[in-house]
Amino acid sequence: MYAVILAGGGGTRLWPLSRPDRPKPFLPLLGERSLLRATFDRVLPALAGPEDVAVVVDRRHVALVRAELPEIPARNVLAEPVGRNTAAAVALAAVALERAGDEVMAVLPADHLVVDENGFRALLARAAAVARAADRPLVTLGIAPTGPETGYGYVVAGDPRAEAGAHAVRRFVEKPPADAAAALLAGPDAVAWNAGIFLWRRDAILDALEASAPDILAAVRAGVAAGAAALDAAYATVRATSIDYAVMEPASVAGRVAMLRADVGWSDLGSWAALRDALVARAVEAGEPAGAVGSGPRRDVGSEGTLVLAGERLVVTLGLRDTIVVDTPEALLVCAADRSQEVRAIAEELARAREDDS
Amino acid sequence: MYAVILAGGGGTRLWPLSRPDRPKPFLPLLGERSLLRATFDRVLPALAGPEDVAVVVDRRHVALVRAELPEIPARNVLAEPVGRNTAAAVALAAVALERAGDEVMAVLPADHLVVDENGFRALLARAAAVARAADRPLVTLGIAPTGPETGYGYVVAGDPRAEAGAHAVRRFVEKPPADAAAALLAGPDAVAWNAGIFLWRRDAILDALEASAPDILAAVRAGVAAGAAALDAAYATVRATSIDYAVMEPASVAGRVAMLRADVGWSDLGSWAALRDALVARAVEAGEPAGAVGSGPRRDVGSEGTLVLAGERLVVTLGLRDTIVVDTPEALLVCAADRSQEVRAIAEELARAREDDS
């Protein structure tokens, strides 16, 4: 088994901490380690050695990856000339990493939280066994939903498979509106959140790309075969789309996808509120004060449900409820936790304004 | 008439903006001007010229006063070796400024807000006329209460005087608990908040100090007569107490105090919530957005009742309710507006912790 960590993505949802020159995978949001490093540590040593881990990353951030993961061979850092979403990234890893066709590739986003790391490793091992079944399914991990979230895609389970806990996947549902999410949860089918964590044999994903996204596979193959300049040319025109949309949805219709339920304390840390929730849960579990969680020099009196990421300066909070405070040298964000999904739009608007100014 | 501006006080209630080296009177809390400058401008030119304005201030802040008020003569800046509350400050002004006994002195705290400046000037002129009456009363301005505030002292009115709108003062009530404040408002007597703005003839306040605080008057007289070193010695031992407690309370018992109702949009800006209220009221009056008032580089989406004092950096606020955000190079405060009275205690605790560290 080998692991491909996807370390792309801009991360404007975690503005002002995540920035173009230091996106989310490189932030130590949960403590000392960056999210990328935590993702790497999570698969070692039980599942893979350093030489079995690769990272797909924007060319501008290769040095950051080398600094975070000095153990992995240089050839395992796959630099994209530009981000083109996950379909191209997966195709690049499937083509460029020379592995046997029957080896199982685990695809892991670099910016997630997993609380139960031992459970996660055991789950990956079981998922790899499913991927090795005779029908070579594309395996996805399904997260047990805690509510009708609109920030996640959903996986709808079909018939059970022979492997314990595994099901066929009937269909994928892209991030639904609130009423559709509620209807999914209330419906007759078992559903799960799509974590974006996949396991498949190398030959299976190459076949699936050939079947439903041949243009992407061909472009990446041409780029890899002919060297860096060719990869630039390939990425200049390759279609930017997600692996979910380009491969998993059509493959599920063809009965080629399986899922395993994951109950390992997962979060995509996709908003400040999600990070707040993760840190509050961790504090509660550790028996520590959970009213104002965070990092940096802080002093709190009587706040609840509050996240404070302090920077250089002391941050004093007093009597806040469900509030996010993120202090960086460039900007300060103070927002209601239940509106943290709107941070992305504000960050993008500010970036546009800066461009207009320059 | 001449004016004595009291520019002492530490202002820990407006931490982290107010600091020992730059206390509240020197902050431009309401716009371009410092509160001291605004207090000065408020009496000119109708009531007094620059040579008729004096400032009592801690010796460490004399240079700040000179910079803010370059028009006033150097001898009108009365430097205290150390703050000893308002009784000593008033005594210093009454002794050191050589004025005729029948001249009226107006005592004005340097850190208040007055919205209706024309109305305020007219009120001071009327109060000066009362002070010139044959019985030489000590005159205080009484603010019409808007609720049972516990942050203010109260003045209880007695019989009407001959001058229009003036009453005798029956007694002063120091900052009362909430139930006592409510009882005062519900009681049979007319009551007002004590604004700490006083007018009296010079001979009247000297007589009143002699009657009820002779130790303070004697210490200050000895210090002024014998030069700077003597003033240091006098202030080292002089009793630290307020003019309200040392003079106004006993004088009211003796029937020597009068009050005039003031309805001029006054606030003592004694907490971040009070500043928020003042800026919201000003924004509403000007027809401007009032959801997130403040100063500095700001961007707000959908907040209400929120004060943002930004510093160098952009402050983005999103969906806040009744929240105070104060960003300074040294520290950041984010607090619930209804708990801003607790800021003082936190600031004092932090100051003690710094002392313990050093």
**Interval B159-195: pLDDT, tens:** 999 999 999 999 999 889 999 999 999 999 999 999 9
Selected for mutation to probe chain B from A324, A334, A340, A344 (highest B CB count within 10 Å) is A334
In this structure, which CATH number among 3.40.50.2300, 3.40.50.970, 3.90.550.10, 3.40.50.620 belongs to the domain A2-267? 3.90.550.10
Name the average pLDDT for chain B.
94
Identify all chain A residues contacting B340, using CB atoms and an 8 Å cutoff.
318
Q: Identify the pLDDT of residue B358.
A: 65
Of A317, A339, A343, the CB nearest to B335: A317
Identify all chain B residues contacting A332, using CB atoms and an 8 Å cutoff.
310, 313-316, 325, 327, 332
Q: Identify the pLDDT of residue B337.
A: 97
Average pLDDT over residues A288-303: 95
Q: For residue range B215-238, what is the model confidence (pLDDT) as tens digits?
A: 999 999 999 998 888 999 999 999
Identify all chain B residues contacting A334, using CB atoms and an 8 Å cutoff.
315-318, 320, 323, 325, 334
ipTM of the complex: 0.85
d(Cα A65, Cα A83) in Å, to the nearest integer? 16
Nearest of A1, A24, A3 to residue A76 by alpha carbon: A3
B93 pLDDT above the threshold of 80:
yes
Q: Which of B1-5, B150-154, B219-223, B340-344 has the lowest mean pLDDT?
A: B150-154
Q: Identify the pLDDT of residue A358.
A: 65
d(Cα A58, Cα A89) in Å, to the nearest integer? 10
d(Cα B69, Cα B40) in Å, to the nearest integer? 8
Contacts of B124 (CB under 8 A, 6+ apart): B1, B43, B47, B106, B199
Cα–chain center distance at A312: 29
Q: For residue range A2-52, what is the model confidence (pLDDT) as tens digits?
A: 999 999 876 788 999 988 888 999 998 887 899 999 999 999 887 889 999
Identify all chain A residues contacting B342, using CB atoms and an 8 Å cutoff.
301, 318-319
B353 pLDDT above the threshold of 90:
no
CA distances (Å), origin B304, targets A3, A336, B292, B318:
48, 12, 6, 10
d(Cα B313, Cα B311) in Å, to the nearest integer? 6
Number of Cβ within 10 Å of residue A118's Cβ equals 10
In the block, tokens 């060319």 appear at: A59
DSSP string covering B244-310: IIIIIHHHHHTT-EEEEEE-S-EE---SHHHHHHHHHHHHHHTT---SEEEESSEEEES-BSEEEE-
On the CB side of A121, CA atoms within 13 Å amount to 12
Phi-psi region of A155 (alpha: psi -120 to 50; beta: other; left: phi over 0): beta
Nearest of A279, A268, A233 to residue A84 by alpha carbon: A233
Q: For residue range B255-272, what is the model confidence (pLDDT) as tens digits?
A: 999 999 998 889 889 899
Question: Distance, in angstroms, between A184 CA and closest chain B CA?
Answer: 29
Contacts of B280 (CB under 8 A, 6+ apart): B290, B293, B305
Q: Identify the pLDDT of residue A95.
A: 97
Q: Which two tokens stand for residue B316?
A: 């983005």
Question: Distance, in angstroms, between A246 CA and closest chain B CA?
Answer: 35
Q: Identify the pLDDT of residue B357.
A: 75
Amino acid at B193: W
Nearest of A118, A117, A150, A153 to residue A249 by alpha carbon: A153
What's the angle, vertex CA B137, arms to CA B193 and CA B250, rounded to 5?
65
Q: For residue range B44-89, what is the model confidence (pLDDT) as tens digits?
A: 877 889 999 999 999 999 999 999 999 999 999 999 999 999 999 9
Identify all chain B residues contacting A338, using CB atoms and an 8 Å cutoff.
319
Nearest of A130, A149, A137, A123 to residue A261 by alpha carbon: A123
Q: Identify the pLDDT of residue B133.
A: 97
Residue A118, classed as helix, strand or coil, is helix
Average pLDDT over residues B298-302: 96
In chain A, domain spans = 2-267, 272-357
Question: Distance, in angstroms, between B7 CA and closest chain A CA?
Answer: 27
Contacts of B224 (CB under 8 A, 6+ apart): B92, B95, B96, B230, B231
Nearest of B6, B2, B1 to residue B78 by alpha carbon: B6
Report pTM.
0.86
Contacts of B343 (CB under 8 A, 6+ apart): A318, B12, B13, B14, B15, B271, B272, B333, B335
Helix (H) or strand (E) holding B334: strand B331-336
Q: For residue range A221-230, what is the model confidence (pLDDT) as tens digits?
A: 999 998 888 9
Q: Identify the pLDDT of residue A179.
A: 94
What's the angle, vertex CA A247, arms to CA A243 and CA A248, rounded to 5?
85
